[in-house]
Amino acid sequence: MTTIYDIAKLAGTSKSTVSRVVSGNGYVSKEKRENVLKAMHNLNYIPNQTARNLSQQKSNTLGFLVSDYFPLIGEFTSVFIQVARRKGYNVNLYYTQDKQGERNALDLMATKVLDGIFLMTRNNSWSVIESYKAFGPLATWHRVTLPGVYSAYVDHYPIYTMILKRLTKHGYQRIGHVFSSLRDANTQARLQALKDFSRDCPRVEVKWQKHFKKQAMAGEIAAQQWLQAKQPPQAVICYSDYVAAEFIATLRDAGKKVPEDCLVIGTDNSQIAKLVGFPTVDLCFREQAQNSFNYLYNQLHNEKLPITRLNPQWVDWGRFSDLKK
């Protein structure tokens, strides 16, 4: 491996000068700079990032933590990674299935192997996670209000209200719900929206409600329960597109027609919604990824990259135009 020392020798100068031209910090005469550049080129020099990181106590890499894979992860990470790349940041992906694994990843901030961390999903309690704030900036996809943690959330209350009203307006009298974990703040917001809605429209039947902690199998199990219900809901709102897609696939397998027998709605605006063809709500996950990165970057550089306001939208690919407005 060729090092700055080799370059220095060949260019007839010192390590310091070479370091200056490589990093672009400090003054160096035109003449010396050219010699160094020439030497770098001749020796095929590639700077050692590890040495640099050790010396500077930073790595220009962010950690992306998630517990299980679900399809939205792929889309979300891809925008996060590409946004980070443009600002010179790498990202390490960690699938941390347990508390300890997650802590190990968080620990990496202490030594600046990771400069900052985004948590898509988590294993440890928020108080544990928050304590890592001392090591570097933290952002998350969860809806939480903690002084030290940026949350890229969007309020589900108005969105859920909007969906409920729209369905009611179009004649749906029995509306079912597939929620994620009860402890989740988004679930709470949805439940509140549902409660308030029921007060206004008591005649709409909304009792069919299911809860799942994991996305895997949630849609399938919920669909099984739909199939066994005596009076199944005519429309079901799912907490994620993936769950909605699984729900639909299971109903169709059982010979049901979607959306005729049951209209199923997701809330991610992921590719899957478009492909399977069901209405969904764009909760702006792409902008959330962008905002999250910007937050971490701003913390790290004392800059002011913009954090944009999110503007959720109903999305139906023009296929459910009768549902519009």
Partner DNA sequence: ATGAAAGCGCTAACAT
Partner DNA sequence: ATGTTAGCGCTTTCAT
Q: Which residues bind a second copy (CB under 8 A)?
A: 1, 46-51, 53-54, 59, 61, 69, 71, 73-75, 77-78, 81-82, 85, 90-95, 101, 107-108, 110-113, 242, 245-246, 248-249, 252-253, 271-272, 274-277, 317, 319
Residue environment code for 287-316, b if the CB has 16+ CB neighbours within 10 A, otherwise e: bbbbbbbbbbbbbbeeeebeeeebebebbb
From the list DNA, a second copy, none, partner contacted by residue 191 (C-beta under 5 to 8 A by kind): none
* Helical residues (DSSP H) of the chain, grouped into ranges: 4-11, 15-23, 30-43, 49-56, 71-86, 99-107, 126-131, 156-169, 185-200, 218-228, 241-253, 271-276, 285-301
If the CB atoms of residues 56 and 313 are measured against DNA, the closer one turns out to be 56
Does 77 participate in binding DNA (rule CB under 7 A)? Answer: no
CA distance 25 to 106: 31
* Helical residues (DSSP H) of 124-183, grouped into ranges: 126-131, 156-169
CA distance 146 to 298: 18
Count the site residues for DNA by CB under 7 A.
Answer: 31
Kindly state the smallest distance separating residue 42's Cβ from DNA, in Å.
15
Count of beta carbons in the 10 Å neighbourhood of residue 143: 17
Kindly state the smallest distance separating residue 114's Cβ from a second copy, in Å.
10
Question: From the centroid of its chain, how far is CA 102?
Answer: 17
Count of beta carbons in the 10 Å neighbourhood of residue 14: 14
Peptide bond into 259 cis (omega under 30): yes
Kindly state the smallest distance separating residue 296's Cβ from DNA, in Å.
20
CA distance 213 to 322: 33
Which residues in the 110-139 window bind DNA by CB under 7 A? Answer: 111
Residue 157 in contact with residue 192, Cβ under 8 Å?
A: yes
Does 104 participate in binding DNA (rule CB under 7 A)? Answer: no
Whose CA is closest to 67, among 135, 143, 124, 114? 124
From the list DNA, a second copy, none, partner contacted by residue 107 (C-beta under 5 to 8 A by kind): a second copy
Going residue by residue from 45 to 64, which x/- string records binding to DNA, judged by CB under 7 A? --xx--xx-xxxx-------
From the list DNA, a second copy, none, partner contacted by residue 78 (C-beta under 5 to 8 A by kind): a second copy
If the CB atoms of residues 15 and 143 are measured against DNA, the closer one turns out to be 15
From the list DNA, a second copy, none, partner contacted by residue 15 (C-beta under 5 to 8 A by kind): DNA
Angle at 22 between CA 21 and CA 25, to 5 degrees: 60
Kindly state the smallest distance separating residue 105's Cβ from a second copy, in Å.
9
Does 308 participate in binding DNA (rule CB under 7 A)? Answer: no
Which of helix, strand or coil describes residue 16?
A: helix
From the list a second copy, DNA, none, partner contacted by residue 22 (C-beta under 5 to 8 A by kind): DNA
Residue 96 in contact with residue 123, Cβ under 8 Å?
A: yes
From the list DNA, a second copy, none, partner contacted by residue 158 (C-beta under 5 to 8 A by kind): none
From the list a second copy, DNA, none, partner contacted by residue 87 (C-beta under 5 to 8 A by kind): none
Residue 266 in contact with residue 280, Cβ under 8 Å?
A: yes
From the list a second copy, DNA, none, partner contacted by residue 77 (C-beta under 5 to 8 A by kind): a second copy
If the CB atoms of residues 92 and 224 are measured against a second copy, the closer one turns out to be 92
Going residue by residue from 7 to 46, which x/- string records binding to DNA, judged by CB under 7 A? -----xxxxxx-xx-xx-xxxxx-xxx-------------
Kindly state the smallest distance separating residue 29's Cβ from DNA, in Å.
3
235 membership: H or E segment, kind and range: strand 235-238
Binding residues for DNA (CB under 7 A): 1, 3-5, 12-17, 19-20, 22-23, 25-29, 31-33, 47-48, 51-52, 54-57, 111
